[in-house]
Structure 1
């Protein structure tokens, strides 16, 4: 079967997009967004300048941009017949563009299920899955009423957020009053105890090909407040008690998903599984790469295969637990000190290390679960061993950032 060309949405550099550009460049066209140009560093643009790229302009109707794309692509030797969007925030625009361009896409309803957290949880319940109690809210008083019924703390999040951006754990009415609820649509959600897990899956022709669970040493809401930022693919040793494959199949079949990469979070508490959130795109941070290391296979190649319409052969090699530890970025400013990569690679269990900055460079910290200055991949016989090794890395790693003049508060006269 002749390989199909994929139109790949590309709004930020990632291990997946770099792999695609390097390994499948002859069957790849990039779809970019002018509003996200600042998130594409010049070095990355140079790295991918051998690929054809179509830019969606700002403030132009998407229908007009799709017509312009069809005219543009008609004059090129390689024309996409398939579509892949690995971006959570671009999901709605990207899928609508794919529909207008005549490519496989999610329907508007499917986009709501995987982007609007209230519609998502409504669907979970329709499928018979447990979820935390939740309610759409737009005032601090509504949040307080919700807490009166379900208790503090309350998780407050925009319905379309990702990576814990603008997501808060509210411990009382004063916390609720401190959040501006007028600019976006929000939900209040009951806080669940127990253990939070992740699961990723590949889907082809409506079939779930396999499911890979991940442990999280710390919850995302704790991560944005400074806890260790890590995920561990559990290919050996104890994993979740839940039948994760059955859980994922219910969601895939219930939402009518034909193909793609699914990432979800769920909780185990009081002996039961509670569905958290689901996205139809690659997992954040380096979770997808973890699975490739943990199961010994080309996970990015398999993912591109399903988006190209082909069923990948999932032939696994050596199995182990492998996690990604995101290296902390303590603030914005200029990096003055940073542990070099060679020292990280010498630590127990470290199989790869990536630093995205260097001394003398300017960095910007964000309150998000992917905030970091780089990452390391760490292997071990169990998730517990990987976590111990991660903490050893954090004990060794050092970064110092000197605030720039504009980041330093003015002295009080």
Structure 2
């Protein structure tokens, strides 16, 4: 029997390695600058183009399909979900359609769809000028949130607390709109949405859908800064089973409403006084290495299932795997400025429970204001007998890492950096 072949879009080298380990052959659609010698050793073929340009991808993928006959298209990254949907539609392959992928990527389209089908949601409208912000506040009250329709990493998210903040919010939109940030090719900041603010503790639900059946693998508790940028995550969330069940049911209803029938999902929501309300969702595994936390806590490899299921080595579980231990991550930060000295990384790595310490800056680099997730300078991952123990190990490791900065960096505008 011929070996099954899969097309993998973007992602880290682990995507390819895990597919190969499950007996699949791989065709890789990757940005030219991100294709490595390790990729070359593992794949049957590589399509090295800017996969954000559908006019280039469409004929290339059509030709590659005739030659290599891949049966599935998969991606673990936000930048690849829409093109994966387009390829599924173009070639008639099983998987998430472009319509569903776009519905999840476009936050306004998601809100409008949820309202249209009668699902739980909050008011939302496109921002077209300061008058539209004033009208939204008058109609739905304050506070409300303003954010990019296609944004990620909390970049450009604002909380408008009252009419006196409308002018400043519109000014900030003007600064952000069309800005040439590091990932503008995939996530342009051109359209903005105003939506009702959801108050309450924040969580994410990591799920995998098998033929329309949504299996919740983990409920993640989120730790955030005051500006919506995430400071850390812990699995399992420190909530009782009844609360956890409410979150699980809300996410299952949401995924049904948006039409997701295959693959991974990462759904962010808050437990408001009116019940769980979805903030946003994605048909890919959670970022910030949440997939690694899920695997450490439950032994479920979300990444492997995304790139290789269905296959003999990855059967569909009937229920959530048992909890093995708790896992957490905390992100590292420092005062804005140029890095003078770094210490404590090896000490942090040697602490009990610590699984990994990443630091992306060294002497001479610039630490920016924490305006988005891209401005964080590293993270620590740790495990423990329970959530408190895992978080305590993270806090100890984060405290051990010292990043000293000097003179404040020159202003750089809205560009998110790394």
Query: Is residue 303 of structure 1 aligned with residue 306 of structure 2?
Result: yes
Evaluate the alpha carbon distance shift between residue 32 and residue 345 of structure 1 in structure 2; reply closer, same or farther with a 3 A threshold.
Answer: same
Give, in whole Å, the separation in 1 of the partners of 2:236 and 2:21: 27
State the 4+ residue runs in structure 1 displaced beyond 6 angstroms: 307-310, 360-366
Match of 2:166 in 1: 173
Give, in whole Å, the separation in 2 of the partners of 1:220 and 1:124: 28
Unaligned runs of 5+ residues in structure 1 are none
Match of 2:331 in 1: 326
Match of 1:65 in 2: 57
Give, in whole Å, the separation in 1 of the partners of 2:120 and 2:52: 41
Query: Is residue 252 of structure 1 aligned with residue 242 of structure 2?
Result: no
Evaluate the alpha carbon distance shift between residue 397 and residue 150 of structure 1 in structure 2; reply closer, same or farther with a 3 A threshold.
Answer: farther
Query: Is residue 268 of structure 1 aligned with residue 271 of structure 2?
Result: yes
Give, in whole Å, the separation in 2 of the partners of 1:58 and 1:260: 21
Q: TM-score, normalised by structure 2?
A: 0.79
Q: TM-score, normalised by structure 1?
A: 0.80
In structure 1, which of residues 102, 111, 122 is the aligned counterpart of residue 101 of structure 2? 111
Instruction: Report 1:25-44 matches (<5 A).
Output: 27-33=25-31, 37=33, 40=34
Give, in whole Å, the separation in 2 of the partners of 1:133 and 1:219: 24
Match of 2:232 in 1: 230
Give, in whole Å, the separation in 2 of the partners of 1:175 and 1:372: 25
Q: Greater CA deviation, 370-379 or 193-202?
A: 370-379
Secondary structure of residue in 2 paired with 1:188: strand
Give, in whole Å, the separation in 1 of the partners of 2:335 and 2:72: 40
In structure 2, which of residues 126, 149, 163 is the aligned counterpart of residue 159 of structure 1? 149
Match of 1:144 in 2: 134
Give, in whole Å, the separation in 1 of the partners of 2:253 and 2:50: 38
Match of 1:393 in 2: 397
Q: In angstroms, what is the RMSD of aligned CA positions? A: 3.6
In structure 2, which of residues 49, 62, 65 is the aligned counterpart of residue 56 of structure 1? 49
In structure 2, which of residues 178, 192, 195 is the aligned counterpart of residue 189 of structure 1? 195
Aligned length: 391
Give, in whole Å, the separation in 1 of the partners of 2:208 and 2:226: 23
Check conservation: 1:324, 1:376, Cα contact below 8 A. Answer: yes
Secondary structure of residue in 1 paired with 2:121: coil
Query: Is residue 285 of structure 1 aligned with residue 293 of structure 2?
Result: no
CA positional deviation for 1:398: 1.4
Give, in whole Å, the separation in 2 of the partners of 1:147 and 1:237: 33
CA positional deviation for 1:193: 1.7
Give, in whole Å, the separation in 1 of the partners of 2:66 and 2:99: 30
